[in-house]
C-alpha cells in the first residue's frame, strides 16, 4: 500500500487527478489537504471524500504542525502538490498571498517531507529515505515566460493545430517568469530542486500548459466565457485577443501526473502539453458557436439560458483593456514525457471543448455554488 498526500484536491486539476487515481489504483490511501479558498469547492469531490480510502483535512499547506501531523498519522509515501493561488489576474491585484501559499507553503511541505522520510545518512552525509517516497510539484509552463508569436503575422487564425512560432518550451528553457503568479511558481520550482540537490529528496516537477475541462473555476477564460454566454453577458477579451495559449484537456494532465508519480526519474522535470495552440479570440468564437449549436440540437438545454438563445452570437464579444504584462504565446514541447513515459494526449480540442460545454450545461448547480461568496465580490469589482 502507498499513502498519498494530495494538496489542493478541491480545486480544478487536483479534483480531476483525485478522481483518476482512485479509479486507477487499488493500492493507495489518500490524505487530501485543502484550505478551501474561493477556488476550492468540497462539492467537487463530494463522492471521493466518502471513499474509505480518503481522509480530508481542511487546512493550509503552510501549517507545519498540521502537515507534520498528516505525515506521521498516515505514513505518507507520496506528495502531489496542487495547492496554489492559480489566477494571474489576482496575482497582479494582490501578490502577497501568492508568495505565502505558492512559495512558503511549498517549502513547508518540503521540510516536513525531509523530516518524515529520513531514515539515516549515507557515507557522504546525505539523508537516506524510505523507499517508495516521492514529492511531485505541479508546476506550469508560465515559469518559462513568453514565446514570440511570428505566424500568422498580425492576423486571426482560426484553424486548430496551427503553430504560431518557431520556438517551444523544453525542460531546458531558462526560467523567465513575468507575473507575480508565475514568479511564485518558479520560486517554488527552485526550492523543490534545491531540496533534491541538498537533501537528495526524490522529487519531480511537471510543467503543463493551459488546462480546460469540468470543474474549472469560472474566472479563467474558458469557463468564464461559457458562463457569460449562457447568461447573455459580455465576453471580455483582453487586448486584441491574439495571445496564444496551448490547451490540454484536464484528464490528459491528470494521467500525465500519475505517470510521472509512478515512473518519473527522480530529480527530473517533465513538460506536459498537446501541441494545441490557439489565439484567445478563436477559443471565444468556438465557445459561442458550440453553445449555439448545442441549443439547436437539444432544445432542453435552453432551460439553462438566462437569455434568449437568439442572442448567442459574436456581438457578445467585447475587447477590454489588456492584462498587464500579458504573455504573448505559450507552447509546450512534450517530447520528453512522450519518449520516456509513453504519455500522449487522448482528447482532441474539438471533442474536449464540447464535453466541457455539455458538463457546464448539465452542472449549473455546481456553477451557482462556486460563484456565490468571495468570487462574486471579486468579479463585480473587476467589471
Ligand atoms: P485552482 O485554483 O482551481 O485550485 C487550487 C486549490 O488549492 C483549491 O482547492 C484551493 O482551495 C487550494 N489551496 C489554495 N491555497 C491553499 C493553501 N494555502 N493550502 C491548501 N490548499 C490551498 O487551481 P488549478 O487550476 O487546479 O491548479 C492546480 C495546480 O496546477 C496549481 O499549482 C497551478 O499552478 C498548476 N497548473 C494549473 C494549470 C491550469 O491551467 N489551471 C496549468 C498548469 C499548472
Ligand atoms: O499556462 C498554464 C497557466 O494557465 C496556469 O499556470 C494558470 O494557473 C492558469 O490560470 C492559466 O493561466 P492563463 O493566464 O493563461 O489563463 P486565463 O484563463 O486566466 O487566461 C487565458 C488567456 O485568456 C490569457 O491570454 C488571458 C485571456 N483572458 C482571460 C480572461 C480571464 C481574456 O482575454 N479574458 C478573460 O476574461
Is residue 217 lining ligand 1, measured as CB closer than 6 Å?
yes
pLDDT score of 374: 61
What confidence tens digit (pLDDT) does each residue in 250-267 have?
999 999 999 999 999 999
pLDDT score of 375: 58
Average pLDDT, rounded, for the chain: 94
The dihedral sign for the CA sequence 97, 103, 109, 111: negative
| 246 CA closest ligand 2 atom index | 1
pLDDT score of 132: 79
Displacement of CA 124 from its chain's centroid (Å): 38
- Report the distance separating Cα 176 and Cα 166, nearest Å: 18
Low-confidence ranges of the chain (pLDDT < 50): none
Is residue 272 lining ligand 2, measured as CB closer than 6 Å?
no
- Report the distance separating Cα 282 and Cα 313, nearest Å: 14
Quick one: which ligand is closest to 254's CA?
Answer: 1
Quick one: which ligand is closest to 83's CA?
Answer: 1
Rounded to the nearest angstrom, the distance between the alpha carbon of 286 and the centre of ligand 2 is 17
Residue 141 falls in the annotated catalytic set? yes
Q: Please give the domain boundaries of the chain with CATH numbers for all domains.
A: 2-373 (3.40.50.720)
pLDDT score of 330: 97
Residue 142 falls in the annotated catalytic set? yes
Is residue 141 lining ligand 2, measured as CB closer than 6 Å?
yes
pTM beyond 0.90: the answer is yes
pLDDT score of 294: 96
Is residue 212 lining ligand 1, measured as CB closer than 6 Å?
no
Residue 181 falls in the annotated catalytic set? yes
Amino acid at each position: 500500500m502507498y499513502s498519498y498526500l494530495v494538496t489542493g484536491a478541491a480545486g480544478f486539476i487536483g479534483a480531476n487527478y483525485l478522481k483518476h487515481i482512485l479509479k486507477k489504483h487499488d493500492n493507495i490511501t489518500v490524505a487530501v489537504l485543502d484550505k478551501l479558498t474561493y477556488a476550492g469547492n468540497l462539492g467537487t469531490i463530494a463522492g471521493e471524500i466518502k471513499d474509505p480510502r480518503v481522509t480530508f483535512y481542511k487546512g493550509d499547506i503552510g501549517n507545519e504542525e498540521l502537515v507534520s501531523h498528516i505525515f506521521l498519522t498516515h505514513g505518507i509515501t507520496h506528495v502531489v502538490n496542487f495547492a496554489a493561488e492559480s489566477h494571474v489576474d489576482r496575482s497582479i491585484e494582490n501578490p502577497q498571498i501568492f508568495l505565502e501559499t505558492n512559495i512558503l507553503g511549498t517549502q513547508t511541505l518540503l521540510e516536513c517531507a525531509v523530516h518524515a522520510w529520513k531514515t539515516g545518512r549515507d557515507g557522504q552525509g546525505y539523508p537516506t529515505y524510505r523507499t517508495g517516497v516521492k514529492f511531485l510539484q505541479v508546476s506550469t509552463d508560465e515559469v518559462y515566460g513568453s514565446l514570440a508569436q511570428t505566424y500568422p503575422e498580425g492576423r486571426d487564425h482560426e484553424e486548430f493545430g496551427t503553430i504560431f512560432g518557431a520556438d517551444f518550451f523544453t525542460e531546458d528553457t531558462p526560467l523567465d517568469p513575468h507575473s507575480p503568479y508565475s514568479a511564485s511558481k518558479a520560486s517554488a520550482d527552485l526550492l523543490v530542486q534545491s531540496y533534491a540537490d541538498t537533501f537528495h529528496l526524490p522529487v519531480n516537477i511537471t510543467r503543463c500548459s493551459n488546462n480546460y475541462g469540468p470543474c474549472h473555476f469560472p474566472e479563467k477564460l474558458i469557463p468564464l466565457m461559457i458562463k457569460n454566454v449562457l447568461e447573455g453577458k459580455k465576453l471580455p477579451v483582453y487586448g486584441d485577443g491574439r495571445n496564444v495559449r496551448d490547451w490540454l484537456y484536464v484528464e490528459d494532465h491528470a494521467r500525465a501526473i500519475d505517470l510521472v508519480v509512478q515512473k518519473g526519474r527522480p530529480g527530473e522535470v517533465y513538460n506536459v502539453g498537446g501541441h494545441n495552440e490557439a489565439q484567445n479570440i478563436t477559443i471565444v468564437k468556438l465557445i459561442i458557436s458550440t453553445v449555439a449549436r448545442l441549443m439547436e440540437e437539444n432544445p432542453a438545454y435552453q432551460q439553462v439560458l438566462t437569455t434568449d438563445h437568439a442572442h448567442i452570437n459574436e456581438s457578445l464579444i467585447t475587447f477590454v483593456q489588456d492584462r498587464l504584462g500579458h504573455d504573448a504565446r505559450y507552447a509546450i514541447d512534450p517530447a520528453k514525457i512522450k519518449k520516456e513515459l509513453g504519455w500522449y494526449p487522448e482528447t482532441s480540442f474539438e471533442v474536449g471543448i464540447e464535453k466541457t460545454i455539455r458538463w457546464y450545461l448539465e452542472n449549473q448547480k455546481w456553477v451557482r455554488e462556486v460563484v456565490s461568496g468571495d468570487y462574486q465580490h471579486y468579479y463585480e469589482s473587476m467589471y
